[in-house]
């Protein structure tokens, strides 16, 4: 299951207690305090890990606690620091303080990490202060994790337009392709390469008119194209499902605007797919007249004009 949001409670470890002890000697006056300090509690650290693709783990792991610091010992022995607890999340995860909605860190890079809760300081032993102290409590924080995929290109289109077919043709990602709508239910990332240039491309579930009001799978997946640099509208030029390709294009733009007007400021390209079909040939001229913008007619089936698509992507990037 692909989960892109999670709420968790995090608690860093408490510091170890300072030790109260005295050097043994027959002479009472010579009894010097020698209690060591407690160790620091473990931090809780969130790290972007390339091997993790969803926040699913946090569906059932909601309360996270790091270990406490070791207590101080006699002979000025300092307690061990508590072990850090690492939480792995997919790159592209926004870590948000749930109490004030402020972003703690946007973990966009692989291996980037952030300490979200600091372990409590260990208490001082009686060698350092007259009465040995207890360790300080570790920080606690409520976090909202919000995954927004990081890709350069986002594919947007009606179901069955051929988005998954396209990503399969130009990248190593092989999402399921089928002739029924909403085959793709979760976003898929692929790495494409063209002319020695590499870029990430995201295939997201199909969008239909009224998605902003919940029709189809809704528009929640558009969050995953918010951060892409460019958008590629994939249109079924053949109108296999009985709609008009130009209506599809205007509906898609409208849904994007209703979701977030900033999406309309992104550079985009238009890909008219299924040109191998006769009905697509018939629609070609009307499509040109109606949309009045450049587009690339392709066929994922025949693998025709795919280089043009890649060239245009590289140019826009
Ligand atoms: N004739 C023809 N059929 C195509 C072409 N590209 C894709 N198809 C077919 O169109 C159907 C839908 O393709 P998908 O790639 O699954 O479409 P999608 O946009 O990912 O669909 P959803 O995941 O449902 O949103 C499949 O039956 C494909 O075989 C094409 O260029 N020509
Ligand atoms: Mg698909």
206 plus 297 within the same structural domain: yes
**pLDDT score recorded for residue 241:** 96
Q: Which residues surround ligand 2, an ion (CB under 5 A)?
A: 164, 183-184
135 plus 173 within the same structural domain: no
Atom of ligand 1 nearest to the CA of 273: 31
211 plus 121 within the same structural domain: no
235 plus 266 within the same structural domain: yes
**pLDDT score recorded for residue 27:** 77
Write the CB contacts of 274 (distance below 8 Å, at least 6 apart in sequence): 162, 236, 237, 238, 240, 280, 299, 300, 301
Q: Is the pLDDT of residue 264 over 90?
A: no
3-class SS of residue 171: strand
Extract the tokens encoding 243: 């709609």
Q: What average pLDDT does the segment 244-265 reach?
A: 95
**pLDDT score recorded for residue 31:** 84
Residue whose entry in the numeric block shows the structure tokens 């988005």: 163
Q: What average pLDDT does the segment 288-316 reach?
A: 97
73 plus 100 within the same structural domain: yes
Domain boundary among 130, 147, 164: 147
5 plus 99 within the same structural domain: yes
Q: For residue 315, what is the enclosing H or E element?
A: helix 306-316
Q: What average pLDDT does the segment 150-178 reach?
A: 96
**pLDDT score recorded for residue 111:** 97
158 plus 288 within the same structural domain: yes
Query: What total of structural domains would you count in the chain?
Result: 2
Q: What average pLDDT does the segment 276-283 reach?
A: 98
Atom of ligand 1 nearest to the CA of 155: 19
**Per-residue pLDDT reduced to its tens digit, 84-123:** 999 999 999 999 999 999 999 999 999 999 999 999 999 9
DSSP secondary structure of 68-96: PPPPPBTTTBPPPPPPPEEEEE-TTEEEE
Asked if 130 and 178 touch (Cβ cutoff 8 Å), the reply is: no
83 plus 207 within the same structural domain: no
In this prediction the pTM is 0.85
Q: In this structure, what CATH number is given to the domain that contains residue 79?
A: 2.70.210.12
**pLDDT score recorded for residue 2:** 84
122 plus 182 within the same structural domain: no
Q: For all residues of the chain together, what is the average pLDDT?
A: 95
Q: Are strands 113-117 and 85-89 parallel, antiparallel or unpaired?
A: unpaired
* 150-154-156-159 Cα dihedral, nearest 10 degrees: -70
Asked if 298 and 180 touch (Cβ cutoff 8 Å), the reply is: no
200 plus 141 within the same structural domain: no
Instruction: Give, for ligand 1, the residue of 279, 300, 306 to mutate: max count of ligand atoms closer than 8 Å to Cβ.
Output: 300
What letter does residue 33 receive in the DSSP assignment? B
* Residue 227 beta carbon below 6 angstroms from any ligand 1 atom: no
3-class SS of residue 44: strand
Distance CA 243, CA 95 (A): 41
**pLDDT score recorded for residue 192:** 94
Distance CA 92, CA 24 (A): 58
Domain boundary among 115, 147, 179: 147
**Per-residue pLDDT reduced to its tens digit, 28-77:** 777 899 999 999 999 999 999 999 999 999 999 999 999 999 999 999 99
Instruction: Give, for ligand 1, the residue of 162, 201, 284 to mutate: max count of ligand atoms closer than 8 Å to Cβ.
Output: 162
Domain boundary among 98, 119, 147: 147
**pLDDT score recorded for residue 62:** 95
Q: What average pLDDT does the segment 179-200 reach?
A: 93
**pLDDT score recorded for residue 29:** 73
Q: Which ligand is nearest to the CA of 181?
A: 1
Alpha carbon 200 to chain centroid, angstroms = 14
Atom of ligand 1 nearest to the CA of 277: 1
Q: In this structure, what CATH number is given to the domain that contains residue 240?
A: 3.40.50.300
Q: Which ligand is nearest to the CA of 305?
A: 1
Structural domain span for residue 141: 1-147
**pLDDT score recorded for residue 315:** 95
**pLDDT score recorded for residue 106:** 96
116 plus 185 within the same structural domain: no
* Residue 160 beta carbon below 6 angstroms from any ligand 1 atom: yes
**Per-residue pLDDT reduced to its tens digit, 212-247:** 999 999 999 999 999 999 999 999 999 999 999 999
Distance 166 CA to ligand 2 centre (A): 9
Q: What average pLDDT does the segment 285-306 reach?
A: 97
* Residue 184 beta carbon below 6 angstroms from any ligand 1 atom: yes
DSSP secondary structure of 83-141: PPEEEEE-TTEEEEETTT--EEEEE-STT-EEEEEPPPPPPPPTTTSSSPPPPPPPPEE
215 plus 298 within the same structural domain: yes
* Residue 208 beta carbon below 6 angstroms from any ligand 1 atom: no
């Amino acid at each position: 299951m692909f989960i892109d949001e999670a709420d968790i409670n995090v608690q860093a470890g408490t510091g170890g207690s300072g030790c109260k002890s005295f050097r043994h000697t027959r002479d009472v006056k010579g009894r010097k305090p020698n209690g060591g300090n407690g160790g620091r509690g473990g931090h809780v650290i969130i790290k972007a890990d390339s091997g993790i693709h969803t926040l699913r783990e946090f569906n059932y792991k909601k309360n996270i606690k790091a270990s406490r610091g070791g207590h101080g010992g006699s002979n000025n022995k300092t307690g061990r620091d508590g072990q850090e607890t690492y939480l792995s999340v997919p790159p592209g995860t926004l870590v948000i303080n749930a109490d004030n909605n402020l972003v703690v860190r946007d973990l966009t890079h692989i291996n980037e990490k952030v300490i979200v809760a600091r372990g409590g300081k260990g208490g001082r032993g009686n060698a350092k202060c007259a009465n040995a102290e207890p360790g300080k409590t570790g920080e606690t924080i409520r976090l909202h994790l919000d995954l927004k995929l990081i890709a350069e290109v986002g594919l947007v289109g009606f179901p069955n337009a051929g988005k998954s077919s396209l990503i399969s043709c130009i990248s190593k990602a092989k999402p399921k392709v089928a002739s029924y709508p909403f085959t793709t239910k979760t976003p898929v990332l692929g790495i494409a390469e063209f002319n020695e240039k590499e870029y990430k491309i995201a295939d997201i579930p199909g969008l239909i008119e009224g998605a902003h009001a919940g029709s189809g799978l809704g528009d929640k997946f558009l969050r995953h194209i918010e951060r892409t640099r460019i958008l590629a509208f994939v249109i079924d030029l053949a109108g296999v499902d009985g709609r008009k390709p130009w209506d599809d294009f205007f509906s898609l733009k409208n849904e994007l605007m209703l979701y977030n007007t900033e999406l309309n400021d992104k550079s985009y390209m238009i890909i008219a797919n299924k040109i191998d079909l006769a009905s697509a040939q018939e629609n070609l001229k009307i499509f040109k007249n109606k949309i009045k913008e450049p587009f690339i007619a392709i066929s994922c089936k025949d693998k025709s004009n795919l280089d043009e698509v890649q060239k245009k992507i590289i140019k826009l990037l």
